[in-house]
A and B are shown apart, each in its own frame.
Chain A
């Protein structure tokens, strides 16, 4: 599904990704871990096409298509979804209008008619329940005044609405209490199919108790320095990152 070869990227002239190689197949779950500043969030931003970052080398194909030459909205409509670490507030735009625009953009991209108002509201209601999100949400502005937990649940709700094939979760566990973490993680797991793939970016083992990865990659200084099974996370939990930093210092 996703193939990343020798990916380099920078922000404001500073190189953050320094040669990432990664293959992800449908049905797989990959966790990306690593110390602060290693490039985890940059990788997710670059895949989603955030214009703040410059890709300086490498190639990324998504379902056989060159991802790097697509605009961010096209990537989204092709099936890439990023659950933001810090979801953006858009005052004045109701969640209903926002989601309706998003869902119908994707339908248009796929050559489908827009959903009728009734069908759309039914879909909203159904998907909201996956993450136990309040029904008042519909009339509230996008993320405006949402608590940390609500914002993350709202991200997973949007994921449910858009049914993406590649789901990238950027530190979805940050700022969540243990109950909210469970709700969010169970939502992600419930939406897992054989056709979609998941990339989980996290610092901690605890999210991986719920979203069990097939592979764990350790990112350090802009490169994947180690890949292992789910037991690698337990190892890291015990030993921290210092031994990695020691082993792979420049």
Chain B
């Protein structure tokens, strides 16, 4: 046996269960009435409905983008349910305001909604299908003036803040999926960190798709005012189904003077089975505007799930001396496809950006890094360092790198390094000869390869991510 053999995932997708939750859904399909209905269900003010309708009308003029290195089967946007929410049980005591079945679901996912049981330093906003079901530690946070709540509530309670920032980083005209999301988004998280406040705990949102035939369109908005700091983490899972489900999200981040936001993602949507049936289509627009001077945004992502990923968390470095970072590990196995990377747009002077991308492809998967570094005319002394590495497991997968640079200022220093390597038979045999099994050897090599990125994750999640990498690749070498 000279060739590495490609086998199926031995361990089943751990989060593939379905919960029997009494769910209210609307009829499938998308038209202006559906947009109005979603807005009405949320009891939104007029400005939101106007925003949605403008977005919807614009979306109707657009086509799905085709430039990515992805083979996307035709999506019938009229065959998707755009709103599904657990039915609210009759009035329950405050601590128990969550439906027991919903609570059980999140317990099973390892995300207790009970503050007593939760990690004491992580506040969670739990989003199920189209609504947020619970946000923990809100009181503790509000004592510091921090707002952490479902965006649907923020629209009600802080309309001036939402109106000021929503759609300012990712306008609805940005792209096809952004326009769609702007028209139909139903929930997500809203974070506001006031001036001079260092958020005392990790904030996180956990997204769960449960209902069938449903798309999830969440929207997150994080605003960090002058001299503030927050570390935010998002996680996501979905049941195993033969059908493909659509997830089209938007995340917007705004940092004012000297503010810093760390945004980490562990993306583990259902990837489909070993033959490429089912799985989530993950089409996400994430962008940060470093508006203030010397502000900083750092994106860290560990992407292991989804059948198709289309995602480019980016930074617009507008404030002088602002800093953007992108650290990514993207793993694809079996028939998964990923086209992911970042854009670093240098507008201010002395702006700096760092890109570390580690792609890992196994099975028959396709994994592409796509990145843009742009230095505008006035961005004197901008610096960028990019490193894009690809690791191949087996010989039926593909790794691709598409780095673009667009430099309009002669003082810019832009560096790019790239490498492609393969886990070789010799390396595996060497590990085997020391008593290490092939599975464990792959885990050891992959975690070693991804270490620079995993180190950027908050401690609590680094271990989890390490295990996830190993599980995702289990059985990829025979």
Contacts and interface: CB of A to CB of B under 8 A. Distances in A.
Nearest to A92: B448
Contacts of B437: 71, 73, 105
Interface stretch (B190-198, B216-224, B294-302, B427-435): B427-435
Nearest to A164: B435
Interface string B389-432: 00000000000000000000000000000000100111101111
Nearest to B391: A92
A100 B419 CA distance: 28
A162 B2 contact: no
B435 A73 contact: yes
Interface string A86-106: 011111111001100110011
B448 A90 contact: yes
B436 interface: yes
A131 interface: no
Interface stretch (A29-37, A43-51, A221-229): A43-51
A201 interface: no
B445 A87 contact: no
Contacts of A102: 431, 434-436
Interface residues of A, number: 33
B464 interface: no
A98 B433 contact: no
Interface stretch (A57-65, A76-84, A180-188): A76-84
Contacts of A142: 430
A93 B444 contact: yes
A88 to B, nearest CB: 4
B56 to A, nearest CB: 47
A137 B421 CA distance: 23
A18 to B, nearest CB: 22
Contacts of A82: 433
Nearest to B423: A90
A158 B434 contact: yes
A52 interface: yes
A141 interface: yes
A222 B430 CA distance: 24
B451 interface: yes
B438 interface: yes
A142 B424 CA distance: 14
B440 interface: yes
| Size class of the contact patch on chain B | 20 to 34
A27 interface: no
Contacts of B426: 88
A76 B433 CA distance: 5
B449 interface: yes
A71 B441 CA distance: 14
A72 interface: yes
Contacts of B448: 90-94, 97, 141
Contacts, number: 84
Contact of B445 (A50, A52, A81, A93): A93
A248 interface: no
Contacts of B427: 88-90
Nearest to A158: B434
B435 A51 contact: no
Given A73-B435, A105-B440, A91 B430 contact: no
Interface string A122-166: 000000000000000000011000000000000000100010000
A90 B430 contact: yes
Given A92-B451, A141-B448, A51 B2 contact: yes
Nearest to B448: A92
B435 A98 contact: no
A105 B434 CA distance: 9
B465 to A, nearest CB: 16
Contact of B434 (A49, A50, A141, A162): A162
A97 B425 contact: no
B104 to A, nearest CB: 34
Contacts of B432: 49, 71-73, 76
A51 B430 CA distance: 11
Contact of B430 (A77, A87, A97, A109): A87
A235 to B, nearest CB: 33
B438 A73 contact: yes
A105 to B, nearest CB: 4
A171 B189 CA distance: 63
A87 B448 CA distance: 18
Given A51-B1, A51-B2, A72 B440 contact: no
Interface in B436-478: 436-438, 440, 444-445, 448-449, 451
Nearest to A82: B433
A89 B427 CA distance: 7
Nearest to A102: B434
Interface string B243-260: 000000000000000000
A109 B437 CA distance: 11
B430 A88 contact: yes
A102 B440 CA distance: 10
Nearest to A51: B1
B444 A77 contact: no
A140 to B, nearest CB: 12
A162 B430 contact: no
15 contacts: A49-B433, A52-B425, A72-B432, A73-B432, A76-B432, A81-B433, A88-B429, A89-B427, A91-B421, A97-B444, A98-B436, A101-B431, A102-B434, A105-B440, A158-B434
The 9 A-B residue pairs with the shortest CB-CB distance, nearest first, are: A92-B448, A72-B432, A93-B448, A102-B434, A76-B435, A88-B430, A105-B435, A73-B432, A77-B435
Interface of A: 48-52, 71-73, 75-77, 81-82, 84, 87-94, 97-98, 101-102, 105-106, 109, 141-142, 158, 162
Given A88-B426, A105-B440, 12 more contacts: A48-B429, A73-B433, A81-B433, A87-B430, A88-B427, A90-B427, A90-B431, A90-B448, A91-B449, A92-B448, A102-B435, A105-B437
